[in-house]
A and B are shown apart, each in its own frame.
Chain A
Amino acid sequence: MGETANIRRIRYLLIALVALYLIGPTLVVIWLSFSTDEVLRFPPHLFSWRWYEVFLFDERWNEAVRRSLLVGSLATFLATIIGSVAAFGTARTRLPGKQIVEIFAIAPLVVPPIILATGGYSLFAKLDMIGSNIGLAIMHTVLGVPYVYLIVSSALARTDPSIELAALSLGANRWRTIRDVSIPANLPAIITGALFAFLISFDEVVVTVFLSGSLAPTLPVRVFSSLSLAVSPVVAAVSTVQIIIAIVLMCLVGFLQRWQRRWAEAVAH
């Protein structure tokens, strides 16, 4: 009796330690964001919202947020379309070269970002697009495609492949079939993929550093450069906001996945 209680206590302790190890750095950042100090120091003197005010009202930070949102939206839009089309193409057609499409769609996940950054830099330097939002969005799209592709593919593997044939037999042409059946029946997965693509773009640093040129950087790059210039606790406040955004999006992803899984149950067993 006493022994099992002890074992249970040890188990909970281990779980708590692992959890602390995983989220410890995040908790430290949140803690630092409420600092009253002028510079980042640990442990901080508490408690103030001043660094959140700086983040909200400083034009340079606002500029970074705007740029992140603009590039992120554009990259999300493109990555969602490209990734979904590739997923449908490989899951629902018998076209030759499917494996090649698959490899290309997943490649950016395994190629080190520094290589993509170097390649992107050489290409866009030639095109005189260093510092352009379009160039940056294109590179972020490349990074987001694998996530959309993998998430939509796995949803397609679970939904009934006959539903598109059914729509065609009922009189829907190919366009109506895509609009009325293919997209809505996989919408939760497509939205999940889009959220991931956005998150990837929203905290990408390496490729962005190479491509942002002299223009105002995106939010994570601005965080990065402020850390190396003057160590102000504002970066902790910014990071905390980013963490909250990430948590909200992940909750949304959890909800969307449950939704998509319920649809998969409509298949006959």
Chain B
Amino acid sequence: MIKKKICMLGTSAVGKTSLVRRYVQGFFSEQYLTTIGVKIDKKTVDLDGQALTLVLWDLNGEDPFQRVAASYLRGAAGFLLVADGTRRLTLEGALRLHERLHDALEGVPGVLVLNKADLTASWAIEPARIEALQREGWTVRRTSAKTGMGVEEAFEHLARRLLAP
């Protein structure tokens, strides 16, 4: 069976752990419990008859209290760069983190995930900003770990890219 390591990256409190929980366990919890270090999960998916085990490395959020250790990224086959769509600063923080980890992530496919898409009234990312990121080469997905919207699709999109020849 093919096994691929996927890292969840982003600043703190953007919903990385909730996305993994929604994807692996199928539920959402309102209770926020910050991640210290790394939390490992896995999920086996069937992509067109091919079994693929995704080993999900849910890394602590990058902020003044904790930095993401670049060594955790070794062997990563893909990553989800997660931002909170209701806080514009988390998008810029995620992009800065990606830049800082550039050496470790060079050539590794990733998806930029704008989470909390259920909070439409508080949405803070302008369509023009998303279009600009897409022009820069980012694959952008809107997700809601709370409702499940777009979560499977984001992981599946990345999984398919990992299997692409």
Do A and B bind? Answer: no
Q: Which residues of B contact A (CB under 8 A)?
A: none
